[in-house]
Chains A and B, each alone.
Chain A
Amino acid sequence: MDARITTLTRRAKGGIGRREELVSAEVLRIGRGSDNEIFLPDPRVPLHLGVIHLNNDGLFVEAVGSVDLRVNGAVTRTALLKSGDTLGAGPYEIVVEKKPDGFDLGVTLELTQPLGDDLEELRRRSCLSVAESGISKRGTAWVLSLLILAMFLAVPVIWPFLAPEKDAPVDAAAAGAAMAKGHEMGFDISWNPGEMMNSHKFFADNCSACHTKPFIQVEDAACASCHTAQHAHATLDASVATGITETRCATCHTEHNGPEPIRSERQRLCSSCHESLDKAWPQTALLNAGDFGTAHPQFRATVWTDPGAGKQARISLDDTPKEVSNLRFPHKTHLDPKKMKDPETGQNTQLECASCHVPEAGGALMKPLVMEDNCGGCHKLTFDQDAPKRTVSHGKPELVYREVQEFYAARALDGGVQEPEAPAVVRRRPGTPLTAEERPEALAWARQKADWAARYLFSKSQCGSCHVLTNTEGAPQELSVAPVKVAAVWHPKARFDHGAHEDVVCADCHAAAESVESSDVLLPKIAVCRDCHGGETVSDRVPSPCVTCHAFHLDGMPPMHPARETAAQ
Chain B
Amino acid sequence: MHEGFLVHSNFKFLKWASALCILSAVAYAIYDPLDVQSGGTWLGYGLGTIGAVLIVWLMWFGIRKRRYGGAFRLRSWLSAHVYLGLSLIVVATLHTGFQLGWNVHTLAYVLMMLVIASGAFGIYAYARYPRMMTENRRGLSLDEFLSQIGDIDRECRQVSANLPDEIASLVLKSSNETRIGGSCWRQLSGRDRKCAAAEAFEELRRVSTNVGPEHGPSVRKLLTLIGKKCSLLATVRRDIQLKALMDIWLHLHVPLSFALLAALTAHIISVFYYW
Contact = CB atoms under 8 A, between A and B. Distances in A.
A368 interface: no
A149 B266 contact: yes
B64 interface: no
B210 interface: no
Interface in B219-275: 240, 243-244, 247-248, 250-251, 254-259, 261-263, 265-266, 269-275
Contacts of B36: 254, 257-258
Contact of A137 (B102, B107, B151, B255): B255
Contacts, number: 186
B172 A43 contact: yes
Contacts of A43: 157, 160-161, 168, 171-172, 175
A375 interface: no
Interface stretch (A113-121, A402-410, A489-497): A113-121
A153 B273 CA distance: 10
A144 interface: yes
Given A41-B161, A47-B164, A191 B270 contact: yes
Interface string B14-54: 00000000000000000010111011100000000000000
Contact of A119 (B101, B147, B176): B147
B95 interface: no
B126 to A, nearest CB: 15
Nearest to A214: B273
A142 B262 CA distance: 10
Given A47-B165, A119-B147, A126 B250 contact: no
Contact of A193 (B34, B248, B271): B271
A320 interface: no
Interface stretch (B5-13, B84-92, B132-140, B181-189): B181-189
A214 B243 CA distance: 49
Interface residues of B, number: 68
B74 interface: no
Nearest to A262: B35
Sorting the interface of chain A by its residue count into under 10, 10 to 19, 20 to 34 or 35 or more gives: 35 or more
A228 interface: no
Given A193-B105, A195-B101, A32 B248 contact: no
B255 A141 contact: yes
Given A153-B269, A257-B38, A193 B161 contact: no
Contacts of A140: 251, 255
Nearest to A44: B172
Nearest to A157: B273
Contacts of A142: 258
Contacts of A364: none
Given A121-B176, A126-B179, A215-B272, A144 B157 contact: no
B141 interface: no
Interface in A65-79: none
In the A-B complex, the 4 residue pairs with the smallest Cβ-Cβ separation, listed nearest first, are A119-B150, A140-B255, A144-B259, A141-B258
15 contacts: A41-B161, A122-B150, A123-B146, A126-B182, A128-B142, A132-B181, A137-B250, A144-B256, A145-B258, A145-B262, A191-B270, A191-B271, A195-B101, A215-B273, A262-B35
